[in-house]
Chains A and B, each alone.
Chain A
Amino acid sequence: MKKISIDPVTRLEGHGKIDIFLDDQGRVTNCYFLVPELRGFEKFCEGRPVEELPRILTRICGVCPEAHHMASAKACDAVYHVEIPSTAKKLRELLYSIFFVADHTVHFYALGGPDFVVGPEAPVAERNVLGVIRKVGLEAGKKVIHTRSMAHEALTILGGKAIHPVTALPGGMAKGITEEERKKIEGYTKEMVEFGKFTLKVVEDVVLANKAYVDLILSDTYAHKTYSMGTVDQKNRVNFYDGKIRVVDTQGKEFVKFEAKDYLNVLAEHVEPWTYLKFPYLKQIGWKGFVDGQESGAYKATPLSRLNAADGMATPLAQAEYERFYKTLGGKPVHATLATHWARVIELLYAAERSLELAQDLEITSGNIRTIPTATPDEGVGCVEAPRGTLYHHYITDEKGIVQKVNLIVGTTNNHAAISMSIKKAAMGLIKKGTTITDGILNKIEMAFRAYDPCFACATHSLPGEMPLVVRILSPEGEVLDQVERF
């Protein structure tokens, strides 16, 4: 058996990688997607006062501290059985929606977008954010930087700190905003809505206008029929901060809708011997291995899944785009993994519109931002939609609020089985007997998992920051027969 390794850049020893196994004929037999193991998390949390967790768990991830901050604060609210005031909820959702604008912006322009805007076969040196800027114009680059900068400032006001937010705490928020700050944020969010519209125009002009790209998006190589998960409001519209979690089947029919606290009734986790990262699946269907379809409990929780799991968007411009999305791609649900990029941009517009609504809400400057918890703490689950999927924080404490047990299911973990399947399918479709592994092929395999925006930044940040991407072909004995380096 031969082995191909796609070894993504990381700052860590024991980094994430993709191993593709070939048989003696050069055909793909299996793929393994591996991520680094971090040790001792439960132990680290146990014995701490639970109210420390919203502050400290923001450190789990260098990319989405806001998501962990919110899920953690909501779990603490549940632990203390406290209803937070309406203004506190709006402040949290405002913070969270602005964070979504910033995060989805980076993904589209810097991480996922280059494949489409510059092209999947473009040389690696051009297939990056600068290539995107060259293609769509320097003005676009300035808009990206400006949007990030506005979000950074708004998040500093709302989160109380430049980088890792600290303001959400059990019972509500530690600080509110003044009228002056509200006006500033309102101005920013107006610009963000325009930026969302602009980005959808980029999708239309550069991606949808190119038939080859649309064919690539809809090709079988990148399709998986799975269940879709996402949080919805009372009218079954997408919501990132709060609501019930809805799962629809491969036909788009509601399979289950549940409250966060009941997640263990719906989800179970499968364990494989080759990775420490678990594979969540729908308990009622069961784990059937790395297969898709109506009979497999594997599901996805991505921007695309959120759109599939909902009946629409709660803001007008995003709703119009939602309708266009399904009309263009042949109706609901959509199972084309690469369409996730487009879905993400529709979410970006929704997040911007929702931020503007909240910034214009008269109640947002009210001083009623916290209900002091008085009940005896015990157990609680907090859940939000992180950019990469549904995020669950589950805490159990003693009667003094000291943490006894913690369980997390993070965004990317939901998609672990689906990512593994997508890579395998893409590899099988692209690598045949006698195929020479080129940079383009390698990138097209990477595209299968890049669509999920998988994030392991919760690993560490040690220098040196870059390592070459290497594809190795090994003999059954482990001898390196061929090696392709990305740069």
Chain B
Amino acid sequence: MSESERILVLGLGNPILSDDGVGIYITQAASFLFSHSQVTYQESSLAGFGFLDTISGFDRIIIADSINWQKNPPGTVIVLKTEDLKGQPYLRNFHNLSLAGTLTLADQMGVPRPKEIVIFAVEVKDCSTFSERCTPEVERAIPEVAQMIVEQLESWLGVEKGASVVEEVQHD
């Protein structure tokens, strides 16, 4: 990819609702592992249009999110790519515009949006209890997914494995 391209690593979720915050924790963990001038890390609890405002202007995005399919054990990592996202921008009763719907909307309205998207989602257990920590099953997936994000970034940027590792990390 060219040096002018911008990559967004976006953690989605609510960090005060248990497992719903997993995407945000993953993004924070990845930002400790890898840093690059073309990469921006951001977190968001916004839905629908707010999401469109956030992703507009980036060339590629990696999204870390929770997923509530209830098809897999909590903590299972699911990877989705652009071609997996299908959907129409049906706007529902509430403020719920799906990711696929948001992208379709951006295309039809001529809003610049990322052409390449990879989503890392973690199957959740509890998203309805106020807490700043995930359940243990989901928490265990955080370092694994953070590493997967770093590998995706290295692959896109064509950098050597481990080349942009943040050497000194200060934790609070």
A: residues with CB less than 8 A from B are: 8-14, 16, 36-41, 43-44, 56, 59-60, 62-63, 65, 106, 110-111, 114, 124-125, 128-130, 133, 138, 141-142, 145, 148-149, 152, 162-164, 446, 449-450, 454-457, 459-466, 469, 486-487
Contacts and interface: CB of A to CB of B under 8 A. Distances in A.
Contacts of B111: 145
A11 B50 CA distance: 16
B146 interface: no
28 contacts: A8-B92, A12-B68, A12-B127, A13-B70, A14-B128, A36-B128, A43-B130, A62-B46, A148-B52, A149-B56, A163-B42, A163-B44, A163-B50, A163-B54, A450-B93, A454-B93, A454-B94, A460-B17, A460-B128, A461-B45, A461-B47, A461-B66, A462-B20, A463-B68, A463-B99, A463-B119, A465-B99, A466-B100
A59 B45 contact: yes
A412 to B, nearest CB: 10
Given A63-B50, A65-B45, 13 more contacts: A38-B17, A63-B48, A63-B95, A141-B109, A142-B110, A163-B42, A163-B45, A460-B14, A460-B68, A462-B13, A462-B65, A463-B69, A486-B90
A125 B101 CA distance: 12
Between A11, A125, A446, the greatest number of chain B beta carbons within 10 A of the residue's beta carbon is seen for A11
A114 B69 contact: no
Between B70, B98, B124, the greatest number of chain A beta carbons within 10 A of the residue's beta carbon is seen for B98
A486 B91 CA distance: 12
Contacts of B99: 463, 465
B15 interface: yes
Given A39-B128, A56-B16, A8 B93 contact: yes
B14 A152 contact: no
B89 to A, nearest CB: 6
A464 B92 contact: no
Given A11-B68, A40-B129, A466 B98 contact: yes
Given A44-B16, A130-B105, A148-B53, A463 B94 contact: no
A170 B98 CA distance: 36
Interface of B: 12-17, 19-20, 42-50, 52-54, 56, 65-70, 87-101, 105, 108-111, 119, 121, 124, 127-131
B53 A461 contact: no
A10 B88 CA distance: 15
Given A461-B14, A461-B47, A449 B93 contact: yes
Contacts of A466: 87, 90, 92, 96, 98, 100-101
Nearest to A144: B109
Contacts of B94: 8-10, 16, 111, 454-457
A457 B128 contact: no
